A and B are shown apart, each in its own frame.
Chain A
Amino acid sequence: MDIIGNILYDTIYHSAPIILCVIGGIFAYKANVLNIALEGMMLIGAFVSTLTAFMTQNIALGVLLAVLAALAFGVVFSLMGVTFKGNVIIIGLAINLLASAIAKFVLVRMNTSNITLSFMNVADLKLHIPVVENIPLVGSILSDHPLITYISFLGIFFMWVLMYKTRFGIYVRVVGENEDAAKSIGLKTDFYKYAAILIGAVCCGLAGANLSTERLGLFTNDMTAGRGFIAIAAIYCGQGSPTLSAIYAVVFGLARALSVNLSIYAGPAAGLFDVIPYVIMVCVLTVVSVLKHKNNKVRGFKNE
């Protein structure tokens, strides 16, 4: 029972930053811009939030600046990709590299290998949800997460509304699906692409702050460890639907939680447990794709 509680709590823990990247990334996906810079934006968010908190002892300011830093990267991405029409895959890769290089460069200049926030205790950042907290099992799973973790889950609903119930969401989808149609009703298509990318940036900034400052109180180099790419896989699996894609993010979180919690019992094979999340993602992607193409009689790959 205890272990199940732990696995579920860890699932939420590991899912949160990925969910944030996912629900941010889906807008760019829907706007037909492949944003593989999620990883870099998250990393710079993680870095700036911790750095700021370290220097000012102010976590809120750290989160704010993390979002701004990610936004700055988002602006660079949009500028190069949308305005100058560069290849977005290359730009994404470049941003990922740059984020990592900048963080390393600054750490070297600061003469340290990581930034530790010793002035605070991450336990104090956890929110105890009044009534829920006391329900057995459920309480231990749903309570005691930091604010951004809750934001990430609430964000799924928010993004769903934004995507399907507001003008903005419709326009983003129209821009992605038929740019000519968007132009013909006078939409500034570039504006919606920018907006879609920048929403992703904000979410990635938050995800980074969640990962570093809020949960660990520290930043180490390359600490995002591929989570942004996992988010992209989740977006693809869920085909850009906020709920479905978020579910895939949770699946990954669950796989991670399982691998961490079960490796204690795995003996020498424990090292292989870390492979599980990635393999699960590939399997899920394959199943989704096979189902999607099960009726496909048309040869070729023009739509991919």
Chain B
Amino acid sequence: MSIIKTIDLTKKFGDFTANDRINISVEKQEIKCIVGENGAGKSTLMNMLYGLLRPTSGKILLHEKETVINGPMDAIAHGLGMVHQHFKLVPSLTVYENILLGAELKKSSKSPIIDRKKEIDEVKKLIEKYKFELDPTDKIEDISVGGRQRVEILKMLYRNVDILILDEPTAVLTPQEVDELFVNLKELRAQGKTIIVITHKLREVMELSDSVTVIKQGKVVGNVLTKDTSEEELAQMMVGREVVLTVQNTAENKASEEIAYQVEDVCTINDYGKEVLQNISFCVHKGEILGVAGVEGNGQSELVKVLTGLMKTTKGKVSIYGKDVTDKWPDELRQNGLGIIPEDRYAQGLCGTMSIADNCIAGYHSVPDVCKFGLLDRKNISCKRDRFVKDFDIRVGDINGNVGQLSGGNAQKIIIAREFESNPKLLIACQPTRGVDIGSIEFIHKQILDFRNKGNAVLLISSELSEVMSLSDRIIVMYKGRIIGELSPKEVSRSEIGLLMAGIQNNKAKGAFI
């Protein structure tokens, strides 16, 4: 018996069809994976099931009855809960307040005052029932990402849903946390819940699911049972052609002895005065890619901010080819030969409401060929833009339009073009392929390797473990603001790095502190 079924479900945003006559069916007590590239329309589909979006046409059947879902509360009333890709938690509130948000317990039915004690007790019971690890009185802003996800799941379980939708739940977890989550999910399935998981990590699909639906450009292109398929087959369905799943760093390590980038003893604190970077030291040689691995929230963000001039150090020294650049501003760093692919492309890399041309010069808008006597040379800028678009195969609808209209991959390519074309000697690449489809990943990875092969240095920071492992010549792992170990990607396994990322040091990590 199918518990959820959609019939020709369609969603249009203006002229753009995000979901095109989607037909899927989920059986009771199964784990269903939905895969697809970024922007394929997975979240849109789930948002319609959860009532956040209204379908343009088509039907949703719940328990084989046609149902109109008028918003999240309605969905929950129908026993359907969702954990979003971007958590919907309130950082300044506590765990219990977040779980009970919208369903607060009052002193009595007439009293307007909330009963704090009763609420905490209730949440404690819930946590015990599902054997999650959480303290109900912690503030969300103080707990780990994994913990936040557990809060999101509990939020739904408290509301007694029997269908749970998880949108890219593993993106921010360590391999160990992923395993734990999978155990939790399988346990929930055993207790009778139905689970839909959205992901584009094919390895996880194979490990977790009972059946898979593949969506491409808003259409269902495949519906298979997990046991009948393979990663390669799924990848081909997703992209529509054969793809190299990961570009391998096959070239021999030609790293020279010359140190291109040296970071010594760097520390910094966050707004609350907590030391979020503790004595970070490492160096990158010419012709080398140094990967930084770690679970998000362990200081990589701060490290990147410090290294790209967005944050100041409290201590330590950074130098590029021997030149001290500690606490220099981003423009000075760029003048010193640093190229930057920032962590969040729409926050730090691009301005979505400015034109493509304007974005093509950002960060390099003072160089003489675009700026003379303080005035911008519009003609040269347009030429530059046209060159980028051609050389990097950036697909733009309206060449005079804003960057916000570009797809994620193409937007990222603007940054890649801008930074590589300025001939840096050192590149800091932070999450270079986040939110980019498999085809573009291939392209970007190749660019980075080529850059390295020309004898330049690269610092690669990514939460995507496979990316770090396949590209880097050396890997350092960050945990709680410190470097917990350095290893060679060729000598360690995925799970060994995973342990290190979780703070558990094993003996293979040579010289835990460098």
Binding site for B on A (CB under 8 A): 161, 165-168, 170, 173-174, 177-178, 180-181, 183-187, 293, 295-300, 302
Partner of A186, one of B71, B92, B106, B312: B71
**Residues 2-53 of B at the A interface (beta carbon under 8 Å):** 52
Does A180 lie within 8 Å of B88, measured CB to CB? yes
Does A166 lie within 8 Å of B273, measured CB to CB? no
Does B97 lie within 8 Å of A299, measured CB to CB? no
Flag B232-270 by CB within 8 Å of A: 1 or 0 each: 000000000000000000000000000000000000111
Residue B373 interfacial (CB < 8 Å): no
Does B90 lie within 8 Å of A298, measured CB to CB? no
Does A180 lie within 8 Å of B91, measured CB to CB? no
Distance A161 CA – B272 CA, assembled complex (angstroms):
27
B90 neighbours in A (Cβ, 8 Å):
173-174, 177-178, 181
Q: Lowest 10 A-B CB distances belong to which pairs?
A: A186-B73, A185-B102, A181-B88, A184-B88, A295-B273, A297-B312, A298-B311, A186-B72, A297-B311, A166-B112
Partner of A170, one of B88, B97, B313: B97
A298 neighbours in B (Cβ, 8 Å):
271, 305, 310-311
Does B91 lie within 8 Å of A184, measured CB to CB? no
B271 neighbours in A (Cβ, 8 Å):
293, 295-296, 298
Does B311 lie within 8 Å of A178, measured CB to CB? no
CB distance from B104 to the nearest CB of A (A): 5
Q: Which of B74, B82, B89, B269 has the most chain A CB within a 10 Å cutoff?
A: B89
CB distance from A170 to the nearest CB of B (A): 7
A183 neighbours in B (Cβ, 8 Å):
52, 72, 88
Does B84 lie within 8 Å of A184, measured CB to CB? yes
Does A187 lie within 8 Å of B102, measured CB to CB? yes
B268 neighbours in A (Cβ, 8 Å):
297
CB distance from A86 to the nearest CB of B (A): 18
B272 neighbours in A (Cβ, 8 Å):
295
**A295-B273, A297-B268 are known contacts. Are A165 and B93 too (CB-CB below 8 A)?**
no
Does B101 lie within 8 Å of A166, measured CB to CB? no
**A174-B93, A178-B88, A185-B102 are known contacts. Are A299 and B114 too (CB-CB below 8 A)?**
no
B489 neighbours in A (Cβ, 8 Å):
none
Does A177 lie within 8 Å of B113, measured CB to CB? no
Distance A183 CA – B92 CA, assembled complex (angstroms):
17
Distance A186 CA – B103 CA, assembled complex (angstroms):
11
Flag B276-297 by CB within 8 Å of A: 1 or 0 each: 0000000000000000000000
Residue B447 interfacial (CB < 8 Å): no
Distance A42 CA – B273 CA, assembled complex (angstroms):
41
CB distance from A50 to the nearest CB of B (A): 34
A-B contacts, 17 of them at CB < 8 A, read A165-B113, A166-B113, A166-B114, A167-B104, A167-B106, A170-B93, A170-B101, A181-B88, A184-B52, A185-B72, A185-B73, A185-B101, A186-B73, A186-B76, A297-B312, A298-B305, A299-B312
Number of interface residues of B (CB under 8 A): 38
A177 neighbours in B (Cβ, 8 Å):
90-92
Flag B60-101 by CB within 8 Å of A: 1 or 0 each: 000000000001111010000010101011111100010001
Residue B309 interfacial (CB < 8 Å): yes
A293 neighbours in B (Cβ, 8 Å):
271
CB distance from A46 to the nearest CB of B (A): 31
Residue B400 interfacial (CB < 8 Å): no
A173 neighbours in B (Cβ, 8 Å):
90, 92-93
Residue B314 interfacial (CB < 8 Å): yes
Distance A302 CA – B346 CA, assembled complex (angstroms):
13
Flag B355-381 by CB within 8 Å of A: 1 or 0 each: 000000000000000000000000000
Q: Known contacts A167-B104, A297-B268; can you find 8 more A-B pairs with CB under 8 A?
A: A170-B114, A173-B90, A174-B93, A178-B91, A181-B89, A185-B72, A295-B271, A297-B312
Closest to A175 in B: B90
Does B310 lie within 8 Å of A165, measured CB to CB? no
Distance A300 CA – B329 CA, assembled complex (angstroms):
11
A161 neighbours in B (Cβ, 8 Å):
113
Partner of B89, one of A165, A170, A178: A178
Distance A94 CA – B361 CA, assembled complex (angstroms):
38
Distance A202 CA – B92 CA, assembled complex (angstroms):
28
Closest to A186 in B: B73
Distance A296 CA – B269 CA, assembled complex (angstroms):
8
Partner of B310, one of A170, A187, A295, A300: A300
Distance A300 CA – B269 CA, assembled complex (angstroms):
16
Q: Which of A185, A296, A300 has the most chain B CB within a 10 Å cutoff?
A: A185
CB distance from A159 to the nearest CB of B (A): 13
A166 neighbours in B (Cβ, 8 Å):
112-114
